[in-house]
Every structure is written in C-alpha cells, then in structure tokens.
C-alpha cells in the first residue's frame, strides 16, 4: 500500500491536503508552484496575424501557450524574485494584492500541470497555424524557390 506522503520533484515531503496538521500551512509542504510562473489570459487566435503573435511569444525563452476549457493563456515560466530558498515569500508583509487574495483553498498543490492543448515551441504554432488557416490545396509557407541554372 502506498504511503499518503510522497516526495515531489524538488525532493520535498508532500502530504495530502486532508492530512495537513492543525495550525500548519499547506505552503510549508509546497514547492511554491504559484510563485514560479504567471499566466495571462489571451484572446483565442483566429487569424494568421494573431497566430503569428503566438509564434513570436514562443520564440522567447520560458514561454508557452495553453488552453483550459475554451480559454487561452500565455504562460511565462519565471519565478518571483522574492521567492526564498525555503519556497516562502521574502516580502510576505508587503506582497502584492493578487498574492494576498490567493489562498490554499484552491491552489495547485496537487495539480500535475497537464493540459489537453499546450504549445511550447514556435514550430508547434506554425503547424497549428497551417492546420487551422490553410485552405484546401494551399499552403501558408513561402513558395519553393526556382532552381539555379546549371553553368
């Protein structure tokens, strides 16, 4: 029978949410997922130009795009500059309001971060663009260049 406590990818002991000892914070057992990225909602891309913006986003390091239900997001994988080595906030008393509003009630503690639709490379965006924009018998790729004459 598997133990109800495991180790996460950072080697931290991970207890189940319902086993949290009274008076302790779930954050004491977490790797601070919520402080290691931010995701901004974006409009669903429908045109070639909008899809080119997605491709441009993903030409930058540590960016990806995902869909959750019908909502699209730009995900930037970057940790907060105030996240300390123990995964605690270094500016807890003066943290931004968005951090103050965030609670462990619905946090990502047990999430495995898998999405049905996830783009992490500009090449994936290009392939997606061809699939949704391409008209029958046409390609959005540049035409094949003429062969050079043999001298």
Residue 103 has pLDDT above 90, yes or no: no
What's the average model confidence in pLDDT over 6-24? 71
Query: 112 — alpha (psi -120 to 50), left (phi > 0) or beta?
Result: alpha
Query: What are the backbone dihedrals phi and psi of residue 48, each rounded to the nearest 5 degrees, phi first?
Result: -60, -45
Cα distances (Å, whole numbers) of residue 64 to 21, 23, 56: 36, 37, 11
Residue 3 has pLDDT above 50, yes or no: no
Question: Is the pTM above the cut of 0.75?
Answer: no
Helices (DSSP H) in the chain: which residue ranges? 48-58, 97-101, 122-133
What's the average model confidence in pLDDT over 108-119? 82
Confidence of residue 138 (pLDDT cuts 50, 70, 90): low
For the chain, the helix, strand and coil percentages under 3-state DSSP, each to the nearest 5: 25, 15, 55
Which has the higher per-residue pLDDT, 45 or 110?
45
Ranges of each domain in the chain: 6-127
């Amino acid at each position: 029978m598997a133990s109800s406590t495991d180790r996460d990818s950072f080697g931290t002991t991970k207890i189940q949410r319902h086993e949290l000892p009274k008076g302790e914070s779930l954050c004491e057992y977490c790797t601070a997922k919520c402080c290691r990225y931010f995701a901004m909602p974006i409009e669903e891309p429908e045109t070639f130009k909008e899809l080119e913006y997605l491709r441009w986003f993903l030409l930058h390091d540590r960016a990806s795009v995902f869909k959750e239900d019908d909502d699209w997001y730009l995900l930037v994988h970057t940790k907060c500059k105030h996240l300390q080595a123990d995964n605690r906030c270094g500016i807890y008393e003066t943290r931004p309001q968005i951090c103050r509003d965030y609670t462990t009630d619905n946090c990502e503690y047990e999430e495995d971060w898998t999405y049905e639709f996830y783009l992490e490379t500009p090449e994936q965006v290009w392939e997606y663009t061809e699939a949704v924009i391409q008209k029958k018998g046409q390609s959005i790729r540049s035409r094949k260049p003429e062969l050079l004459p043999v001298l």
